[in-house]
Amino acid sequence: REEQDDVRAALGVLARVTGPGPLGILGYSFGAWMAALVGGQSRTLGGLALIAPPLSLYDFGGLAGLEPRPLLLATGSRDPYCPLDAFQELAAGLPWAGARVIEGADHFFFGRLHPLGEAIRAFAEQFRDARA
């Protein structure tokens, strides 16, 4: 897919700009799927954050073979595109991942951006510490 090529190209630019060391990627909704596809194939990507993964629309099964690395899975408890049972099943298959359900949030996190931001901040700090 062209979108995956775009993600790989962006990671290539980041690698040239930031120098040696692992890179992380954060994807929201469709971007979470792209991040999962690229991240699931990469042995060098240091961390992944998948926000509001649309599990009812796309196959995230490629994450099953993912080697442990900083990983954030986050969804809203009222997200129609990320059913909680599917989210919990995905998280159970990645026991080292940080899984966060933002209570009362829908797919767009209206009115619930602060708890989402806190989850992303904690992930970024974990990833930063792993990168150092």
The rounded distance, in Å, linking the Cα atoms of 126 and 129 is 5
Q: Is the dihedral of CA 97, 102, 105, 111 positive or negative?
A: negative
What are phi and psi for residue 24, nearest 5 degrees?
A: -120, 160
Question: 72 is in which domain, residue-wise?
Answer: 2-131
CATH code for the domain in which residue 82 is found = 3.40.50.1820
Q: What is the pTM of this model?
A: 0.91
Report, as ranges of residue numbers, the positions in the chain whose pLDDT lies below 50.
none
pLDDT digits (tens, 9 = 90+) for 88-98: 999 999 999 99
Token digits for 5? 């090529």
Mean pLDDT of the chain: 91
Count of domains for the chain: 1
